[in-house]
Amino acid sequence: MLREMCKSKIHRATITEAKVDYSGSINIDRDLMDRADIVPYEKVLVVDIENGNRFETYAIPAESGSGTIGLLGGAAKLGNVGDKVIIMSFFMLEDDMAKTHERKLVLVDEKNMPLKDKE
């Protein structure tokens, strides 16, 4: 049996921009994507802690070290600059591997700079 598991998450990042006039997605600092093992165009689940909105979209890399977390397209209507979000990626694992799996956790400060990684 396969189980869908949380592969990684970027925890309590701050939205730095919201651009409605875009084809849609979330722009994430490339360093954070790498730390969270999220590749360009990978599907992610975004949870806005401030308003409770949850939505799926795909990740687009922003400049490394920029701290960018940008809601683009329709997603820009689901959160506001300054809101805290959790960005999660998932994958499928066989049942025996799922029982011991631990997700990768990327913690960030108020400027979306990584504090430390937890395996």
How many Å apart are CA 113 and CA 106, to the nearest integer? Answer: 10
How many Å apart are CA 3 and CA 51, to the nearest integer? Answer: 29
Q: Which domains does the chain have, with CATH numbers?
A: 2-109 (2.40.40.20)
pTM reported for the whole predicted model: 0.93
Q: Is 25 marked active-site?
A: yes
Q: Which pLDDT value is given to residue 81?
A: 98
Q: Which residue spans within 1-119 are E strands per DSSP?
A: 2-14, 17-19, 25-29, 43-48, 54-62, 69-72, 84-94, 104-108, 114-118
Q: Is 58 marked active-site?
A: yes
Q: Which of 25, 41, 66, 89 is catalytic?
A: 25
CB 80 within 8 A of CB 49: no
Q: Which of 8, 22, 58, 89 is catalytic?
A: 58
pLDDT < 50 positions in the chain:
119
